[in-house]
Amino acid sequence: MSSSAHEVVNGGVSFWYADDGLPAVREPLAGDADADVVIVGGGYTGLWTAYYLKKADPGLRITLLEQRFCGYGASGRNGGWLYNGIAGRDRYAALHGRDAAVRLQRAMNDTVGEVVRVTEAEGIDADVHRGGVLEVARTPAQLARLKDFHAHELAYGEQDRELYGARETAGRVRVAGAVGSSWTPHGARVHPVKLVKGLAAVVEALGVEIRESTPVTEIHAGRAVTPYGTVRAPYVLRCTEGFTAALKGEKRTWLPMNSSMIATEPLTDAQWASVGWDGRETLGDMAHAYMYAQRTADGRIALGGRGVPYRYGSRTDHDGRTQPATVEALREILVRFFPALAGVRIAHAWSGVLGVPRDWCATVTLDRSRGLGWAGGYVGSGVATANLAGRTLCDLVRLDSGAAGPTELTGLPWVGHKVRRWEPEPLRWLGVQGMYATYRAADRRETERHSAGSSRLARIADRVAGR
Ligand SMILES: Cc1cc2nc3c(=O)[nH]c(=O)nc-3n(C[C@H](O)[C@H](O)[C@H](O)COP(=O)(O)OP(=O)(O)OC[C@H]3O[C@@H](n4cnc5c(N)ncnc54)[C@H](O)[C@@H]3O)c2cc1C
């Protein structure tokens, strides 16, 4: 029996909250206040920034303002791939030279270890398993892309990456029709909500004032405005990723792109025997409309991909509800990958928003003349990148305030990057819908034709996307 959409819990923010419980919401802001630093947004970016600032200077008065509760956004909904990918690296190589991009990549490699180190040091149990990342190819065109990708990553200094044929791939995870894969050790599986909840608790214990149910409506130099009062501070840091478009003046800054996920019920031992996956690598593929998945600590498969990619006017979802058609599309991917799981019940489905800049490059910036900072635009690679961003924002604030000098992080090429804004509607909506329809068509064509070249359609979509 296949699961029909009505049996599936849809939304409730995410499966991870169904698993670990929704948090008790902290008190909102109780009137005007002053601070040394105000942080807007309680996802990984805001929390890591608060963490490193407070560690560097325990006396700093930091207020973090969160519209709902910490982890309400992508940080409480993601696929739990803690890995070394960063959006925009190749563009940074073109703009700043290869050495600069290699430094950025090395910083990302180290970031995976840094997150694991802090979870251990602070006693955050986030179901971390360091199994690396396995990316599989299932068609000749995907295999050609996989080999290019593999060579490209080696050239960025990942000498520990391995390329596998069909047999070695099946020895790790038995993905139907897999013809090859590329594995890197620079990745770990995490439980996103256990990480974000743990981090919020640690940050609060360090003395950061966290105010929840407190939406910031406007950000200006020196102040963040909310319905309950204004917090004044020399530094105001915007860490709102996919929700940024809702802030006054930011509608066309980063496009909120949807990604949706499903989680199966726990698989039986016999089902796991048919799948393999003993190394608990995070798993992805080389399709244009790619998938990503993890084996959860309680023995489920959580799998994601693009849902309806973008809602007109930069709207976001309601507490993670996704469309039934998306749930079915993800279930089909699951069964295509693992035909023996055709009867497995889908327990939960949800979606969230990513922030996508016009040039698809993640950035971290402090405008030193106004004390305004921001970090994000991570596209789909923010779990680790948010930590690097948090450490970098911390260093930028300390540099600007004279508390410390420049660091290796303040010199990375993604610092201070400027990007043009997205087109106004309806062009924005039409462009994104067209781009994803084209990626799906390119995947279908590559599967049907069994040719080794990437479909021209996908290259056209890349150009439209501005990648
Ligand atoms: C379904 C899905 C799967 C993903 N899978 C992966 C993955 O496996 N690996 C990976 O590396 N990345 C993944 N990502 C991306 C990753 O989760 C994000 O890049 C990362 O969590 C971003 O963290 P953040 O703190 O910048 O943003 P968010 O986690 O979105 O946090 C922003 C916070 O700001 C708050 N906020 C927004 N506006 C305001 C306001 N005006 N006032 C006050 N508060 C506000 C929000 O409520 C939210 O809590 C995925 C994303 C999604 C949606």
* Interval between CA 233 and ligand 1 midpoint (Å): 24
67 lines ligand 1 (CB under 6 A): yes
414 lines ligand 1 (CB under 6 A): no
Confidence of residue 2 (pLDDT cuts 50, 70, 90): very low
Burial class (CB in 10 A: 0-12, 13-18, 19+), 223: middle
DSSP letter, residue 313: G
| Residue nearest to ligand 1 atom 21, measured at CA | 75
pLDDT at 5: 47
454 lines ligand 1 (CB under 6 A): no
| Residue nearest to ligand 1 atom 19, measured at CA | 382
Quickly count: other Cβ atoms within 10 Å of residue 235's Cβ.
Answer: 24
* pLDDT digits 0-9 by tens, 204-237: 999 999 999 999 999 999 999 999 999 999 999 9
* Interval between CA 254 and ligand 1 midpoint (Å): 13
Taking the CA of residue 313 as centre, how many other CA atoms within 13 Å lie in the half-sphere pointing to its CB?
2
Q: Give the nearest ligand 1 atom to 350 CA.
A: 1
CA separation, residue 10 to residues 64, 164, 309, 320, 351 (Å): 30, 37, 17, 8, 9
305 lines ligand 1 (CB under 6 A): no
Report whether pLDDT(11) > 60.
yes
* Interval between CA 10 and ligand 1 midpoint (Å): 19
Q: How do the residues of the chain divide into helix, strand and coil, expressed in percent and rounded to 5?
A: 40, 20, 40
Report whether pLDDT(392) > 70.
yes
Q: In this predicted structure, which of 99-108, 193-202, 458-467 has the lowest mean pLDDT?
A: 458-467
User: Looking at residues 273-292, what average pLDDT do you find?
Assistant: 94
Ligand 1 pocket test, candidate residues 51, 67, 195, most atoms within 8 A of CB: 67
Q: Which two tokens stand for residue 410?
A: 């303040």
Report whether pLDDT(307) > 70.
no
Confidence of residue 422 (pLDDT cuts 50, 70, 90): confident
Quick one: which of 299, 375, 366, 367 has its CA closest to 127? 299
The pTM for the full model equals: 0.94
User: Looking at residues 409-438, what average pLDDT do you find?
Assistant: 81
User: Looking at residues 383-406, what average pLDDT do you find?
Assistant: 98
Q: Which two tokens stand for residue 447?
A: 């599967």
326 lines ligand 1 (CB under 6 A): no
Report whether pLDDT(410) > 70.
yes
Q: Give the nearest ligand 1 atom to 217 CA.
A: 41
Q: What gap in Å lies between CA 367 and CA 283, rounded to an integer?
A: 38
84 lines ligand 1 (CB under 6 A): no
79 lines ligand 1 (CB under 6 A): yes
Q: Give the nearest ligand 1 atom to 292 CA.
A: 8
pLDDT at 432: 72
| Residue nearest to ligand 1 atom 32, measured at CA | 240
181 contacts 138 by C-beta, under 8 angstroms: no
Quickly count: other Cβ atoms within 10 Å of residue 225's Cβ.
Answer: 16
Confidence of residue 98 (pLDDT cuts 50, 70, 90): very high
Confidence of residue 446 (pLDDT cuts 50, 70, 90): confident
pLDDT at 465: 58
Whether residue 413 is preceded by a cis peptide bond, meaning omega within 30 degrees of 0, is no
Burial class (CB in 10 A: 0-12, 13-18, 19+), 154: middle
Higher pLDDT, 68 or 419: 68
* Interval between CA 377 and ligand 1 midpoint (Å): 10
The structure tokens 């390329």 sit at 163
Q: What percent of the chain has pLDDT over 70?
A: 90
Q: Give the nearest ligand 1 atom to 381 CA.
A: 11
| Residue nearest to ligand 1 atom 35, measured at CA | 41
Q: Which two tokens stand for residue 32?
A: 């005007």
219 lines ligand 1 (CB under 6 A): no
* Interval between CA 418 and ligand 1 midpoint (Å): 21
Backbone angles phi, psi at 51, to 5 degrees: -60, -50
* Interval between CA 41 and ligand 1 midpoint (Å): 9
Q: In this predicted structure, which of 117-121, 251-255, 451-455, 457-461 has the lowest mean pLDDT?
A: 457-461
pLDDT at 457: 59
Q: What gap in Å lies between CA 280 and CA 188, rounded to an integer?
A: 9
Q: Dmax over Cα atoms in the chain, in whole Å?
A: 64
Residue 315, beta-bridge partner list? 311
Confidence of residue 456 (pLDDT cuts 50, 70, 90): low
Burial class (CB in 10 A: 0-12, 13-18, 19+), 24: exposed
260 contacts 15 by C-beta, under 8 angstroms: no
| Average pLDDT in the chain | 92
* Interval between CA 47 and ligand 1 midpoint (Å): 11
Query: Would you give the distance in Å from CA 192 to the centre of its chain?
Result: 10
User: Looking at residues 440-456, what average pLDDT do you find?
Assistant: 69
Quickly count: other Cβ atoms within 10 Å of residue 343's Cβ.
Answer: 10
Q: What percent of the chain has pLDDT over 90?
A: 81
* Interval between CA 66 and ligand 1 midpoint (Å): 12
359-376 CB burial, b ≥16 within 10 A, e <16: bbbbbbbbeeeebbbbbb
* Interval between CA 374 and ligand 1 midpoint (Å): 14
Ligand 1 pocket test, candidate residues 219, 239, 240, most atoms within 8 A of CB: 240
188 lines ligand 1 (CB under 6 A): no
Confidence of residue 1 (pLDDT cuts 50, 70, 90): very low
Q: What gap in Å lies between CA 202 and CA 455, rounded to an integer?
A: 48
Confidence of residue 3 (pLDDT cuts 50, 70, 90): very low
User: Looking at residues 9-13, what average pLDDT do you find?
Assistant: 94
CA separation, residue 221 to residues 229, 304, 339, 417, 431 (Å): 16, 38, 55, 19, 33
Report whether pLDDT(370) > 80.
yes
254 lines ligand 1 (CB under 6 A): no
Strands of 176-234 (E only): list them: 180-184, 187-189, 209-211, 218-220, 223-226, 229-232
Output the DSSP codes for 323-379: -HHHHHHHHHHHHHH-GGGTTPPEEEEEEEEEEE-TT---EEEEETTTTEEEEE--T
259 lines ligand 1 (CB under 6 A): yes
Higher pLDDT, 426 or 130: 130
23 lines ligand 1 (CB under 6 A): no
Taking the CA of residue 58 as centre, how many other CA atoms within 13 Å lie in the half-sphere pointing to its CB?
2
